[in-house]
Structure 1
Amino acid sequence: MTHSRRDAIKLGAIGIGAAAAPLAAVPGSARLPNILWLVSEDNNPYIGAYGDKVAHTPHIDSLAKKGILYRNSYSDAPVCAPSRFAILTGINPESCSPAQHMRADAKLPSQFKTYPELMRQAGYYCINNPKTDYNCDVDPKAIWDVQGIDGHWRNAPKDKPFLCVFNTGTSHEQHVCQRDAGRVKPEDVRIPAFLPDTETTRRDYAEYYNIMENMDGEIGNWLSQLKNDGLDEDTIVFYYGDNGGVLPRSKRYCYEEGLRVPLIVYIPPKWQHLAPARPGSVIDAPVTLIDLPATLLSIAGIAQPAQMTGTALAGHRIGAPKSYAFGFRDRMDERYDLVRTVTDGRWRYIRNYMPHRALGQHVGFEWDVQASYREWNALHLAGKLTDEQDRFFQPKAFEELYDLQADPDEVNNLIDHPAGLTAARRLRTALDRHMLAINDNGFLPEGAKGEGYFESRDRSIYPLKRLMLVAAAAARRDPRNLKRFATLLDSPVVAVRTWAARGLLILGEDARPAKDALARVVASDPADPVRIVAAEALVGLGEPVEAVALLARLADEDNMLPIRIQAYDALSNIGRAAIPALPVIRKAANAQLRRFIDPEYPKRMAMYLVATLEGSYDPTQEGLSPQACQNATKSPNMFMGPPPSAAWES
């Protein structure tokens, strides 16, 4: 039976206050329950309990039978570090830039507390084993009682309840590079309509199902330990994935396979008064992982701080069911994009603010670890894909709308279809309201003045409503906005000038009347992000000399990393016009990096760019060597956190 919530929601939505404060005691709760979080990486619900007939996940299935399964659960971002920032802080990453970018070092305001700090104040002994990857400047050792591979509830004081987080890296994306025989065979899997149905793709899918079975065994081992220690009936157990899966068009992309995650909560009979529904229930209302810290605080009996935007799913005060789950994409490793999305569980609406960029931009690590990406790319270059399969490598529509019931592969865009008009209107409005409510920072160029939770609320630096209008106008590719964009190139606001220049870039040849204005920006604008976008636009209008020279100079090693990435991004998208920059590009491609000290994104971009400009690029020649793959799969926590902040400076 499906329940959207327990028949009577307890006490309404969780209170929002300026600081954590105790709630009224609940009769019968003499002490607090233990809490165990079991976290898997990079996986959709390839799980039997979610209806997957191919999956073999008996331990997670068993947990679901006696727990509560959230059918429409989503990560806030389709990648780990921004998603983990949201879970740690309860703050939308895109409202505390640069936390929304993959692999960054955002500054968490000192007055904001993370959930382990608040839970420790409530009396919990807090353990994290081992992954952090919080995408911000929080010191993990300062917020946890125990941080690292030695953390276990068995080492917790007996006079305190514990909050113990175990992370398994078994399903992380680098493991798909291995080739191990398992229960699931290539002929057993279904290949979605957007992918070519090849032996390579089938092998990757089968490999991933078998990885999921291995991960399920780890979950079962932890649950057995809990039972053997006599703690299973005094411990609330959460199992969830930190972001969507890694198979093609999953991780890093704002479709169901990039954002949808498993979430199962088991609440023992002793603590059923904290549950939102009866054991064995399925909750269909959409939830996101940003609801998790609110849920912990509600279980502990303390109110969530004002900056936390989630809704408690269980505890003393359970929030009313939500109508929508929101998601986003900004920079993913070395590639920039700006995507915002919302779903109600039936429909998914996607807004692409940078539709001139291909959906499937080349991401070095993505291509390295997964053979099906490399083969997909090779078939594209050979012209052997159907239109549906080739869409991944093409510029995007400004808006997308999918009926998830009729079209689970999300290939039939209904944005202009009569059947989708009502849903599109409703979801557009919901997304706009959400972006304004959280103060979405996505329109601010990375590295520009105004980054940060409070800084971005200065409307003289970041006029969000105005920027949303300008960015939407840019993405619509309407030549009637030409004069508007040209005028806005003189705005005193860096972000406005950036989006005005991007509007002209997206217009392409239709922007020719603004060529002189763009040349002026390239020559004299004080903000490098504006100059980079204008330079790319100017190259498209046949004026490459000064523009390419600027991009080469900004891509060189003396500039801040975000500026270098933005310059390389532009160079990657101007085709053979980038050839004069080859000396700089080759220098970066041949650079010897010191791991965890030197940033690797410029080198990745430069290596790819050299190959494409010299005509030698062959995606089938990419990929980890067998030894490198073996080393990667033996190191499930090889990506535990952001690079040192020094890597983001000159």
Structure 2
Amino acid sequence: MTLDQRPNILWIVSEDCPPRFGCYGDPHAKTPHLDALAERGVLFEHAYSAAPVCSPSRFALVTGVAPESNAPANHMRTIAAKPAWLRTYPEILRDLGYYCTNNVKTDYNADIVPAEIWDESSRQAHWRNRPDGAPFLAVFNFDDTHEGAVLSRNPFVVDPDDIRLPAYLPDTRQIREDFAQYYKNVAEMDAFVGVLLSQLEEDGLLDRTIVIHTSDHGGVNPRSKRYCYDEGLHVPLVISAPGRYADLFPKPGTRIDAAVSTIRIPATVVDLAGGEIPTYMQGHSLARTSFDAAAELAFGMRNRMDERYDMIRTVRDARFRYIRNYHPHRPYGQHQGFAWLAAGYQSWETEHRAGRLNEVQSAFWRVKPGVELYDTVADPDQVRNLAGNPDYADVEERLSRALRAHMLAVHDNGFLPEGSPMEGYDASRETGSYPLARILEIADAVPRQDPAELPRFVAALSDPDATVRRWGGIGVLALGRAATSVAERLRVVLDGETDVFVSIPCAEALARFSADGNAAEKLARLAGADSSRPVRLEALSALTALDFDIVRAFRDVAATAAEDDDEYICEAGRYLLLQIDGTYTPESVIFPWEKLKVPQEFAAKHERARKLGGAAFRAR
């Protein structure tokens, strides 16, 4: 196609937004504009984000590269080094003659400078500012569906009593209101979509513009954002192409059953613009007329979420979700300062502490199973774990193999500790720097939590590679009480180990299961202000997992962390301090509003909440 024949592209991203739309079958949704868009376009029933939180997922959305390929982009809110050779999709489209704008969120989790990749990135950015005759790519991000939306209590558009709560949540008024609140924000987002479509019509551009709507990830209620279930990863995805481009996609009104990932959208827009898709982009273009529901897969991941470390990898086909938990010794319900501002999390933990939860609702607060498998058709809430069930052994084996192959293919950096010099696309691929296949031989044994693996983990503690040793230590820790049988070996390791990221899991295992005061003291030293941020966060998490009677001797460490200028160190320290002092409640405000460092576009909203004491965003 010549430049004047190429389509304009309008890409609308609703933040933190699961597909609670009429076109996705939600009976409470008020989404007429999106429903109409789906009728004249293609709707993807099973679209999933690369990560269940904004920063890592947005790295994938701007680069077409999985965040775990380029650590530390796999962690929530950091600054990964973008390889010099990697070009984002707006840079590619600008070279093709497109006028590219972003309104307005970036949060790319890397040292990507918005002014260098966009023609304009601001609240005023709009296709209407383009040079005469230039095709455009215009991205609009809708902020008011963000997680912070549930901190408000505006007049409801849905009766809280009419909502079906998922089985994993208790039925409380606070949780019902969190769900009901969000429908108003989705309705506002739909109206925003309507305005943009009206502007296209006013400008006579409807027949020349392909419209894409999706979200950066799922959310926002408890066990959604930050978690690798469908509620955290499932996103809406609708692509509507006018008649002149209709042959690029299935016929209008088609609903695609195949599992697809939003990591494919960058390749799609490059393809639509007539460019050559770079080989480093890890997803195929969605501009095609057929999809194979039996073969296509969508992968997702979780590493550090705010102040809490975890490691989860997952794969989804059209029906089943497979999850592998590499930190099964940590519960899902690790406290996180920002998430716990929501009444839903506070209410859920209150019910947990009061002993009023059933087995399904309690699972979030217990240590995780190593492997999870869910039939999402029979069990849409994903509460009946089929892993180990012989009736589903073929499914489990197929998805397990696919996940491992994917992790090797993208050279998953997630097994490296944050801050490692081997992190990054190029650094992790240098010969001998990061022997991923050999690391997986140890790390993949961790989720099994089989005491028979103990000799394997102990042997790994002597490996010349620090990452292999680290996973040997994590494996011992994840076995729990079995660690007591190798306590002397762990003490020898601590005496001679030079890598702190190996020392931390070994010290936690000794302190938790052998009541070793020297090991607890080592963790306290590593949690001190002289350590780097990742070391402090890991050590603080380890201290938080210990009996608080042991940790009380190190109250000063928690108190120092609680005053730190770093948001995440502060949150981890405040929570630990309240637990040591016995004053914690689920309503305790841990999030440090007074220290908040946020992108410019969120400053006003967060400042307003801070002035209200951090309790909630009030009605606007």
Q: TM-score, normalised by structure 2?
A: 0.93
Give CA-to-partner distance per residue, 1:320-358, whole Å, 9 cap, x none.
775111111111111111111111121111111111100
Q: Cα–Cα, structure 1 residues 546 and 459, in superposed 2: closer, same or farther, change >3 Å? A: farther
Which of residues 242, 267, 272 in structure 2 aligns to 1:299? 272
Q: Distance in 1 between matches of 2:74 and 2:371?
A: 21
Match of 1:544 in 2: 516
Please tell me whether the aligned partners of residues 285 and 323 of structure 1 are also in contact (alpha carbons under 8 angstroms): yes
Distance 1:637 1:51 in 2: 35
Partners of 2:218 and 2:232 within 8 A in 1: yes
The code of the aligned residue for 1:582 comes to R
Aligned residue for 1:170, secondary structure, equals helix
In the aligned structure 2, how far is the partner of 1:355 from the partner of 1:448? 23
For 1:6, the equivalent position in structure 2 comes to none
Give the CA deviation at 1:545. Answer: 2.2
Q: Which residue does 2:475 correspond to in 1?
A: 503
Q: 1:347 to 1:268 in 2, by over 3 A?
A: same
Counterpart of 1:49, as a letter, is C
Task: Describe the superposition over 1:427-485 as per-residue Cα deviations: whole angstroms up to 9, x where unpaired.
Answer: 11111111111111111111123101021123523111121120122222222222222
What residue is the counterpart of 1:617 in the other structure? 584
Q: Per-residue displacement from partner, 1:368-395 (whole Å, max 9, x unpaired)?
A: 1x10101111111121111110100000
- Hey, what's the Cα distance between the residues in 1 that align with 2:401 and 2:93? 36
- For 2:414, what is the secondary structure of its paired residue? coil
- Confirm whether residue 517 of structure 1 aligns to residue 484 of structure 2: no
SS for the counterpart of 2:415 is coil
Q: Which residue of 2 aligns with 1:250?
A: 224
Unaligned 5+ residue runs, structure 2?
607-620
Task: Please list the CA deviations of residues 540-592 of structure 1 after superposition, one character each: whole Å capped at 9, or x if unmatched.
Answer: 2324322222212221222211111111111111122222221111122134x
Question: Is the counterpart of residue 455 in structure 1 residue 422 in structure 2?
Answer: no
* Equivalent of 1:328 in 296, 301, 312: 301
Task: Output aligned runs, 1:628-643, within 5 Å.
Answer: 635=602
Q: Post-superposition shift, 1:522?
A: 2.2
Aligned identity (percent) is 45
Q: Please point out which of 143, 147, 156 is paired with 1:182.
A: 156
* Residues 324 and 447 in structure 2, CA contact (< 8 A), matched pair in contact too: no
| TM-score after normalising by structure 1 | 0.89
The answer on 1:435 being equivalent to 2:435 is no
Match of 2:372, SS? strand
Partner of 1:53: 27
Counterpart position of 1:374: 346
RMSD over aligned Cα atoms: 2.3
CA distance in 1, matches of 2:397, 2:512: 34
3-state secondary structure, aligned to 2:11: strand
Change (3 A) 1:623 1:454: closer
Q: Distance in 2 between matches of 1:636 and 1:171?
A: 16
Structure 1 segment 197-596 matched on structure 2, within 5 A: 197-273=171-247, 275-314=248-287, 323-368=296-341, 370-458=342-430, 460-576=432-548, 577-591=550-564, 593=565
Q: Which runs of 5+ in 1 are unaligned?
A: 1-24, 594-598, 640-650
**Structure 1 counterpart of 2:88:** 114
Q: Which residue of 1 aligns with 2:99?
A: 125
Against the structure 1 CA distance between its residues 628 and 192, is the aligned structure 2 distance closer, same or farther, given a 3 Å change threshold?
farther
User: Does 1 or 2 have the higher relative contact order (CA < 8 Å, sep 6+)?
Assistant: 1
Write the deviation string for residues 68-127 of structure 1: whole angstroms up to 9, x where unpaired.
Answer: 111110001001110110111111111111111111111111011110000111110110
Alignment of 1:166-177 (within 5 A): 166-177=140-151
Q: Hey, what's the Cα distance between the residues in 1 that align with 2:42 and 2:140?
A: 20
Q: CA deviation at 1:129?
A: 0.8
- Give me the whole-angstrom Cα distance separating, in 1, the residues matched to 2:592 and 2:184: 21
For 2:398 and 2:182, the matched residues in 1 are separated by 36
Deviation at 1:367, TM superposition (A): 0.3
Cα distance in 1 for partners of 2:595, 2:22 equals 32
Say whether the 8 Å CA contact 2:250–2:290 is kept in structure 1: no
d(CA) in 2 for partners of 1:430 and 1:195? 31
Q: Which residue of the partner structure matches residue 14 of structure 2?
A: 40
Q: In 2, Cα distance between the equivalents of 1:359 and 1:638?
A: 29
Give the stretch that moved more between structures: 263-272 or 456-465.
456-465
Which of 549, 574, 581 is the aligned partner of 1:607? Answer: 574
Indicate which of 79, 82, 103 corresponds to 2:53: 79
**CA distance in 1 between partners of 2:134 and 2:576 (Å):** 56
Q: 3-state DSSP class of the match of 2:100?
A: strand
SS of the aligned residue for 1:38 comes to strand
**Amino acid in the other structure paired with 2:312:** V
2:60 maps to a residue whose letter is A
Aligned partner letter, 2:572: M
Within the candidate set 110, 117, 120, 1:143 is matched to 117
**Residue 20 of structure 1: aligned partner:** none
Quote the Cα distance in structure 2 between the aligned partners of 1:428 and 1:217. Answer: 42
Cα distance in 1, alignment partners of residues 454 and 431 from structure 2: 25
Distance in structure 1 (CA, Å) of the matches to 2:81 and 2:496? 31
Following the alignment from structure 1 to structure 2, what is the Cα–Cα distance between the partners of residues 71 and 510? 44
SS at match of 2:422: coil
Q: Segments of 4+ in structure 1 off by > 6 A?
A: 317-321, 623-629, 636-639
Question: How far apart are the structure 2 equivalents of 1:254 and 1:191?
Answer: 19
Name the aligned partner's letter for residue 186 of structure 1: P
Tell me by how many angstroms 1:513 deviates.
3.0
Determine the C-alpha separation between the residues in 2 that align with 1:375 and 1:616. Answer: 17
Where does residue 610 of structure 2 map in the other structure?
Answer: none
Instruction: Please state how far the C-alpha of 1:167 moved relative to its aligned partner.
Output: 0.5
Contact 2:337 2:591 in 1 (8 A): no
Q: Deviations over 1:34-88 (max 9, x none)?
A: 1111110001100000011111111111111111111110001001110110111
- SS of match in other structure, 2:167: coil
Which moves more between the two structures, 517-526 or 605-614?
Answer: 517-526
Report the 3-state secondary structure (helix = DSSP H, G, I; strand = E; otherwise coil) of the residue aligned with 1:532: helix
